[in-house]
Amino acid sequence: MKMWFHCLFLFLTCCACIAQQPSQDQPQRREGGGFDRRAFRGVFGQITEISGSTLKLKTPDGSIATVNISASTRFRKEQQEAKLADFKIGDTVAVRGESTGDKAWNAQLISSAPSQTQMQERMKEAMGKTMVLGDVKSIDAPKITIQRIDGVEQTIEADENTSFQRGRGESITLPDIKAGDTVMARGELKDGIFVPKMVNVVPPEMAQRIKQGGGMMFIGPGPGGEGRGRGNAAPTPQSSAPQTPKQ
């Protein structure tokens, strides 16, 4: 479970970083709804060294990344324009840029980001309320029962506004989801029922790599984005969502 939280931390930190960017950096809406999403290229970590135009970051997996700063590098801190001098050793940052080799990056944008502890607290608070992440146990359309990564079993219920997606952009429908799939759902509680706005099926190879701790995984769309596949099932009234801890 620790590795699941590690990978989800990376994903949500990416979203937090993008959310801090000015409007011209935001994903643009497509015709017909949804958003064009650009794959995030960069690195996250805690600043361990600032030397001239170079930063050293300790990434969540414990490795050290080198970040090179140029005259064109932009800085954002607390959703405001900033400069290098506004950052200090110990700060957690998200760097968007181009890789120049093994754990080396040329920075285009450096943004302040929540620490891993802060993000884990936010994830725990959000889990089951605004997001659900885990493996599908069973499907009784429009309901999907999920074994969450925190060991809690929860049933979510799609409605006519729920969109379905696989990986980074393939639109699907509810019947395409099977027991055993790993999914991330974003939505909200309505009368005690979690109603997803978006359900993203993580490709099997990616789900396996996440569980094994492989690489930096970003699953699902960026902030505000969702797939265009639509569910056609209407919601069924239900008194409460089952959220019983696994025995």
Residue spans of the domains in the chain: they are 2-117, 127-230
pLDDT at 209: 64
pLDDT at 79: 84
pLDDT at 60: 81
pLDDT at 123: 80
Give the confidence band of 44 by pLDDT, cuts at 50, 70, 90: confident
20 versus 70: which is more confidently predicted?
70
pLDDT at 232: 34
Summarize the confidence of residues 90-94 as an average pLDDT: 93
Amino acid identity at 171: S
23 versus 234: which is more confidently predicted?
23
Does residue 101 surpass a pLDDT of 70?
yes
**pTM for this prediction:** 0.54
| Lowest mean pLDDT across 141-145, 152-156, 189-193, 215-219 | 215-219
Does residue 199 surpass a pLDDT of 90?
yes
Which H or E run includes 134? strand 131-140
Domain 2-117 is classified in which CATH homologous superfamily? Nucleic acid-binding proteins (2.40.50.140)
Does residue 68 surpass a pLDDT of 80?
yes
Question: Is 183:145 a contact under the CB 8 Å cutoff?
Answer: no
Q: What is the mean pLDDT of the chain?
A: 75
In the CATH scheme, what is the code of domain 127-230?
Answer: 2.40.50.320
pLDDT at 206: 74
Give the confidence band of 186 by pLDDT, cuts at 50, 70, 90: very high
Q: Of 206, 199, 203, 192, which Cα lies nearest the Cα of 174?
A: 199
Summarize the confidence of residues 119-134 as an average pLDDT: 86
Q: Of 38, 41, 40, 37, which Cα lies nearest the Cα of 228?
A: 37
pLDDT at 117: 75
pLDDT at 207: 75
Does residue 3 surpass a pLDDT of 70?
no
Give the burial class of 97: count Cβ atoms within 10 A of its Cβ; 0-12 exposed, 13-18 middle, 19 or more buried: buried
- Rounded Cα gap, residues 185 and 180, in angstroms: 15
140 versus 15: which is more confidently predicted?
140
